[in-house]
């Protein structure tokens, strides 16, 4: 079976992290974002993954090759010369996708308990051209809402509804039969706006409801929310990956190579990456520490994404969604409130109000 992942562009929404690494390689809960999807697809029996990319990311190819060969998955990079939207890349990759078997299409920013096996069964069962996974959200007015009948057949889509019609939205995971490719021209096309409404009119599109959590983690605030949901899911499944011990509170994921000092209080909802050093008396909650970073003694982090190889001084307090790019140095005793700090900066004075430090 095959799958196409819409990786897209530069991941500007996740800057300053994506200034150092292509977004699919930014770690989410100690695995590059794309790994979560590749592993889930592999488990569902996918053997060929096409990555629709709009810029040549050699770093990405290099890093993914190892994983792919380990899993025995074939990776193909389909490079867009110009942005083709969310449907155009399918037309570009038509040669790979054509055949008799349905294939998966997914947005690379989505994190959830991927229901690929259920999708195969659901898709086979209804026999129509497409399956679209829907998820429930609290504020549907920000999204495109999907309306469907009791057997799941989609009637219509309402983009950003002003009055409540439904709280089910497109989760960005699809299973499509190859016949859908005929509906897509090789030019910038939106799968949500140009392709799906037509399929719905012809009763060819069915909605499958997602069980469990879902998050688009394409921007920092949502990345952290997604992290909490992922960790809670691990906790619910009683995963052995979560750390236990008196200094951990709630769900905490600590890489085996990380070192944690005495008298710390870590959690709830913390991810500590490889080779991270957390010194004594540190308080961390709702935060991801990416690989090689160091938090010196007695500091406190809440609601932060700390980039690779950062060095946070002693008695530093950071909160309110701080995102540090790679190799940022924060001096002792500073307070950082909602700072987005670009890579390789040295921070010597407190950041009192949320701002971007170039």
Partner 1 sequence: MLVKAVILVGGPEKGTRFRPLSLDTPKPLFPVGGVPMIQHHIEACCKIPELKEILLVGYFQPNEHWAQFVTTQAKLNNVVIRYLQEFAALGTAGCIYHFRDQILNGSPESIVLMNGDVCADFQLDAMLAFHRQQDRPVLTLMGTEAVHSQSVHFGCIVENKLTHQVKHYVEKPESYVSSLINCGVYILSPEIFNIIATTIKAKTMDDLSEDFSTLSNSSSRRVSRQRSLSGASVSETLSLENDLITRLAVTGGAYVYYTQGWWSQIKTAGAAIYANRHCLKLYHNAHPSWLAQSEKGKAGPQIIGDVFIHESAKIHPSAVIGPNVSILSHVEIGAGTRIRDSIILNDVVIDENCCILNSILGWGSRIGSWSRIEGTPNDPNPDKAFAKLEHMPLFSDSGFLNPSVTILGAKVNVPSELMVLNSIVLPNKDLSHSYKNQIIL
Binding residues for partner 1 restricted to 103-122, rule: CB under 8 A: none
> Counting contacts by CB under 8 A, is residue 265 touching partner 1?
yes
Nearer to partner 1, 17 or 282 (CB): 282
Continuous segment of H or E residues that includes residue 228: helix 220-236
| Nearer of residues 282 and 324 to partner 1, judged by Cβ | 282
Sign of the dihedral through C-alpha 256, 258, 259, 262: negative
C-alpha span between 358 and 356 (Å, rounded)? 6
Query: How many angstroms separate the CA atoms of 328 and 346, rounded?
Result: 6
Q: How far is the CB of 106 from partner 1 (least distance, A)?
A: 39
Q: Residue 205 in contact with residue 146, Cβ under 8 Å?
A: no
Interior/surface letters 318-353, b for 16+ CB within 10 angstroms, e for the rest:
bbebbbbbbbbbbeeebbbbbbbbbbebebeeebee
Interface positions, 299-328, toward partner 1 (CB under 8 A) = 300, 302, 314-315, 317, 319
Q: Which is nearer to partner 1, 98 or 280 (CB)?
A: 280
Q: Which is nearer to partner 1, 243 or 302 (CB)?
A: 302
- The mark string for 150-189 relative to partner 1 (x by CB under 8 A, - otherwise) is ----------------------------------------
Nearest distance, CB of residue 263 and partner 1, angstroms: 7
Query: Which residues fall within 8 angstroms of residue 184, CB to CB, at 6 or more apart?
Result: 87, 88, 90, 91, 191, 195
Distances from the Cα of 69 to the Cα of 61, 113, 148, 287, angstroms: 12, 24, 40, 32
Query: 229 in the Ramachandran plot: left (φ > 0), alpha (ψ -120 to 50) or beta?
Result: alpha
Nearest CB to partner 1, comparing residues 290 and 334: 334
**Smallest distance from partner 1 to CB 271, Å:** 20
Residue 179 Cα distances to 18, 44, 127, 166, angstroms: 36, 22, 12, 29
Count of residues near partner 1 by CB under 8 A: 17
| Beta carbons of 51 and 78 less than 8 angstroms apart | yes
Task: Give 141 or 302: the residue with its C-beta nearer to partner 1.
Answer: 302
Summary count for the chain: helices (H), strands (E): 7, 29
- Of the candidates 273, 303, 299, the residue with the CA atom closest to the CA atom of residue 287: 303
Q: Using the minimum distance from each CB to partner 1, give the nearer residue, 211 or 348.
A: 348
Q: How far is the CB of 300 from partner 1 (least distance, A)?
A: 5
Scan residues 274-303 and list those touching partner 1 (CB under 8 A).
280-283, 297-298, 300, 302
Bridge partners of 76?
50
The pairing of beta strand 130-136 with beta strand 168-176: antiparallel
Residues classed as catalytic: 160
Q: Which of residues 329-358 bind partner 1 (CB under 8 A)?
A: 333, 335, 352
* Helix-helix angle 58-71:33-43, to 10 degrees: 30
DSSP state of 198: H
Q: How far is the CB of 264 from partner 1 (least distance, A)?
A: 9
Residues that bind partner 1 (CB under 8 A): 263, 265, 280-283, 297-298, 300, 302, 314-315, 317, 319, 333, 335, 352
């Amino acid at each position: 079976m095959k799958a196409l992942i819409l990786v897209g562009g530069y991941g500007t929404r996740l800057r300053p992290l994506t200034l150092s690494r292509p977004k699919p390689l930014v770690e989410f809960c100690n695995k590059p974002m794309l790994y979560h999807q590749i592993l889930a697809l592999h488990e569902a029996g996918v053997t060929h993954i096409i990555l629709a990319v709009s810029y040549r990311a050699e770093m990405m190819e290099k890093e993914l090759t190892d994983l792919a060969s380990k899993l025995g998955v074939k990776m193909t990079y389909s490079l867009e010369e110009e942005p083709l939207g969310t449907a155009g890349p399918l037309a570009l990759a038509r040669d790979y996708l054509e055949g008799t078997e349905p294939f998966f299409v997914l947005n690379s920013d989505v994190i959830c308990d991927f229901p690929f096996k259920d999708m195969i069964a659901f898709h086979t069962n209804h026999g129509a051209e497409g399956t679209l996974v829907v998820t429930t959200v609290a504020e549907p007015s920000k999204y495109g809402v999907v309306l469907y009948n009791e057997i799941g057949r989609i009637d219509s889509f309402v983009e950003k509804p002003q009055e409540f019609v439904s709280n089910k939205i497109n989760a960005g995971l699809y299973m499509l039969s190859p016949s859908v490719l005929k509906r897509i021209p090789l030019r910038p096309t939106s799968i949500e706006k140009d392709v799906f409404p037509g399929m719905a009119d012809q009763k060819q599109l069915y909605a499958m409801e997602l069980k469990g959590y879902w998050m688009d983690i394409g921007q920092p605030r949502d990345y952290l929310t997604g992290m909490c949901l992922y960790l809670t899911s691990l906790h619910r499944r009683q995963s052995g990956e979560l750390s236990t011990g008196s200094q951990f509170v709630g769900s905490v994921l600590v890489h085996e190579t990380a070192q944690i000092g005495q008298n710390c209080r870590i959690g709830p909802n913390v991810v500590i990456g490889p080779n991270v050093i957390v010194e004594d008396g540190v308080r961390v909650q709702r935060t991801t520490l990416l690989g090689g970073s160091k938090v010196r003694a007695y500091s406190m982090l809440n609601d932060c994404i700390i980039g690779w190889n950062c060095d946070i001084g002693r008695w530093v307090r950071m909160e309110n969604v701080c995102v540090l790019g790679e190799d940022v140095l924060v001096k002792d005793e500073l307070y950082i409130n909602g700072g987005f700090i670009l890579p390789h900066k040295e921070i010597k004075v407190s950041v009192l109000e949320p701002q971007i430090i170039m």
